Structure 1
Amino acid sequence: MEKPYQIVLDQSTSGTKLLLFENGRIGYRKDKKHQQIYPKVGWVEHDPLEVWHNVQTLLSDVFTEKEITAAEVASISITNQRETIVAWDRSTGKPLYNAIVWQCNRSAGICAEMIAKGLEPMINQKTGLRIDPYFSGTKINWLVKEINAIKEKSGSGDLAIGTMDSWLLWNLTEGATFATEASNACRTLLYNISTMDWDPALIELFGIDVIDLPKLTPADAIFGYYQTIPIVGVLADSQAALFGEGCKEVGDVKITMGTGCSIMMQVQQQNQLRDQRILTTTAWQTEKDCAFALEGIIRSCGDAINW
């Protein structure tokens, strides 16, 4: 018997949305905001446990309010804020620090040092990105330098460091899955978009061990199970918008206006395009296909209205 429902979790900067699709149409939506934490000027954090508890609440609500069971749900899919980074203890499942959000500028000094050492051309060639506090790598380096528990656990097998999708997957599967996919991995400054894998030299440069990082999995694979429901389909939010809007031909462009703004253009297999004014990024990597995109970013869009 065909299962009529699919659940999509959109874990964004300001909150989490749950959509329930009934036979391909949206039949239910519920949103839950989480706190924005500003410890210092220019610093932005989220509480990973609050985010996870919000996801738990939304899942509980949809089953209760729609009077459905797990047996009727074909899949759960995830899209998420991209460069925000979470570090947690694999043995306890507890975060070792708050999530450092993509907006956070605490690693600006680390970026300046790396640029002064002439590292940006090499990093740009491998990742398609710039050295900037926006991306996860310098946030990770800050965590290793400043948080002793993270530094001590690196390389031991007890440390997990990942983007928000990997944190949610870990919790949804009760620790059975520590994974991510290319559209999230490519925003960390640790992923080589030419080899389509974690880059050993970059991982060493930013001060961790490859064992600390999630397994790379095709975006359309089964990532694990939540209460017998397969988790199928994980994609970073801006890339998910490119895919969802059907931008599959070279030159197709989408504009996403959320907390920030992402203008992204499909370039299919052209992952060697480099320009100091724009980013080259993985659009998606599935079991049968991969694509790349050019992207321009505006840091504050809807966030400017909040301010």
Structure 2
Amino acid sequence: MSNTGILSIDQGTTSSRAIVFALNGHQIANAQQEFTQHYPANGWVEHDVEEIWSTTLDSCKTVISQATNKGVDIACIGITNQRETTVVWNKDTGKAIHPAIVWQDRRTAGYCESIKDREAMVNSKTGLLLDPYFSASKIKWILDEVQGARRLAIKGKLAFGTIDSFLIWRLTNGKAHVTDATNASRTNLFNIHTQQWDEDLLTLFDIPPCILPEVLDCAAEFGTCDPSILGKDYRITGVAGDQQAALVGQSCFSPGDLKSTYGTGCFALLNTGDTPVSSSHKLLTTVGYRLNGKTTYALEGAIFTAGANIQWLRDGIGVLQHAKQSQVLAESLDYDHGVFLVPGFAGLGAPHWNPNARASLFGMTRATGPAHFARAALEAVCYQSHELQTAMRKDGVSSNNVWVDGGMVANDWLCQFLCDILQVEVQRPKIMESTALGAAFLAGLQAGIYESLDEISAVKTVDRVFIPELGDKTRQRLLKKWALAVKATLAFAE
């Protein structure tokens, strides 16, 4: 099987990527296209569903051509996707009835607040909080606000899906309306204990069950591509939401294994085995992966903006010309530079969960310049990671090291500062595309290419291990100042 490859579709928040992996995890072909972010109102974030489809399709066609030219035969397809982002489409036309409402979108904050007395019930069934972040309130908004939508939904004419479901529908030419357990677990409609769509939750959010996809294991038969789409009837055999896919890609298969992905946002997932750990510190209990009907759970902490902070510096205010410049600028300053950024651009995630928070910048003087902005943006991600680590420990679970991945961790300075703030080893893998790799592993598992999780674990190799170096006095001083900045930001939000 030396000429066998697996196509992984990685549909993210800011770009659509396709990668063909060899069975040892190395890349054979890679294509990526960015797409437009739409902000129609304060706190609203949308994507053009057709642009998501076209960028995904073009990326797939490019890598299939590249792989074919190298004599590689693609055995199957895995899909990983931005989670919670919500699409509702017409089953007859295949067209979305409204732009995709992105996970970062806060338009339903008022509605979620109005049913806050039901949060205990929602949390007990889903492991999640009652927040605009998740799909349920977004679905309700579309059904309520798009003229005629609810009537069509009740008639069975509409379909809901997270991005994985929508892509599968298109790839199979409307023959498969499915999702996997990880994506389902991010909707606020899925009972993670019974592993079923929950009647009480559907009633709470007033959502007709007929619009929901069938929920499968992460490694399963999701459908077969229509040959007119990609030129061949490829099997789609693996699906997981992006953060859970990274958990698999990092081979975090044992309880206590922790991975932290630094992409547009930052998401830390800790494997808790077959036990769903209920958090008292606003972390999320979620499905880590489900294989052969057996669910492995994870405890998750979410930071809404990570790489997006750097993107803002580059595209929003022009402080950076390119993202890689941030490392050089950060290295030019001492630890006592005095500037702190609390990046509440889309509210603050765990452990605060405040949708009204907005970004704040503290400690500026006339001498403040691009280097301070860049370093404060990078440091903020590490301080927030420390907040997640602290919350996990208070919930009774922890890890002695953390596997990192995502575009940001190519920055050595960031990895070292993260290590210093967390005071644990930070391990960076050689194969950095852990999210896409995880989807490929799942697809290969179902296709019989990999026989077990142990065989998948053997693929993982370490690029570099970072060891804590920062003195505790300096570390504590920085964390104290960060805590004051967060307190002030939350006070302003009130």
TM bin, normalised by shorter chain, reads over 0.9
- The whole-number CA distance in structure 2 between the counterparts of 1:128 and 1:288 is 19
Secondary structure in structure 1 of the residue aligned to 2:154 = coil
1:14 maps to a residue whose letter is T
Q: How does 1:99-114 map to 2 (within 5 A)?
A: 99-114=100-115
- What residue identity is the alignment partner of 1:97? H
Q: Is 1:300 aligned to residue 305 of structure 2? A: yes
Cα distance in structure 2, aligned partners of 1:69 and 1:246: 28
AA aligned opposite 2:164: D
Q: Deviations over 1:179-229 (max 9, x none)?
A: 001100010000001101100110121111111000111110111112311
Q: RMSD value over aligned CA atoms?
A: 1.7
CA contact (8 A) 2:28 2:67 kept: no
Which residue type is aligned with residue 176 of structure 2?
T
Q: Map Cα deviations across residues 63-119 of structure 1 (whole Å, 9 max, x no partner).
A: 33344599921001000000100000001101100000000000011111011xx10
| Contact 2:126 2:190 survives alignment (8 Å) | yes
2:266 equivalent in structure 1: 261
> Do structure 1's residue 283 and structure 2's residue 288 form an aligned pair?
yes
Instruction: Determine whether 1:76 maps to 2:77.
Output: yes
- After superposition, residues 154-303 of structure 1 pair within 5 angstroms as 154-226=153-225, 227-271=232-276, 273-303=278-308
Separation in 2, partners of 1:66, 1:216: 31
Establish whether residue 32 from structure 1 lines up as the match of residue 37 from structure 2.
no
Structure 1: runs of 5 or more not aligned: none
Write the distance in 2 (CA, Å) between the matches of 1:207 and 1:2. Answer: 51
Matches within 5 A, 1:40-55: 40-55=41-56
Residues 87-98 of structure 1: pairs in structure 2 closer than 5 A: 87-98=88-99
Question: For structure 1, which segment, 26-35 or 62-71, has the greater mean C-alpha deviation from structure 2 after superposition?
Answer: 62-71
- Distance in 2 (CA, whole Å) between partners of 1:205 and 1:26 is 45
Q: Indicate the structure with greater helix content.
A: 2
CA distance in 2, matches of 1:237, 1:65: 24
Preserved contact between residue 250 and residue 267 of structure 1 (Cα < 8 Å)? yes
Take 2:235 and 2:297, find their aligned partners in 1: how far apart are those partners?
27
Give the whole-Å Cα distance in 2 for the aligned partners of 1:69 and 1:52.
26
Q: Find the counterpart in structure 2 of residue 9 from structure 1.
A: 9
Contact 1:63–1:69 (CA<8 Å) still a contact in 2?
Answer: no
TM-score, reference length from structure 2: 0.60
Q: Distance in 1 between matches of 2:257 and 2:67?
A: 37
Q: Secondary structure at the match of 1:221?
A: strand
User: Taking structure 1 as the reference length, what is the TM-score of the superposition?
Assistant: 0.95
The code of the aligned residue for 2:297 comes to F
Aligned to 2:408: none
Structure ID, larger Rg: 2
Letter paired with 2:82: Q
8 Å CA contact 1:96, 1:149 repeated in 2: no
**Which structure has the highest strand share of the two?**
1
Q: Give ranges in structure 2 of 5+ residues lacking alignment.
A: 226-231, 313-494
Range with greater deviation from structure 2 (63-72 or 13-22):
63-72
> What is the total number of aligned residue pairs between the two structures?
305
Shift of the 69–163 alpha-carbon distance from structure 1 to 2, 3 Å rule, reads farther
Counterpart of 2:309, as a letter, is A
Q: CA deviation at 1:38?
A: 0.6
Provide, for residues 140-192 of structure 1, a one-character-per-residue CA deviation record: whole Å limited to 9, x for no partner: 11112211232111132211011000000000111011000110001000000
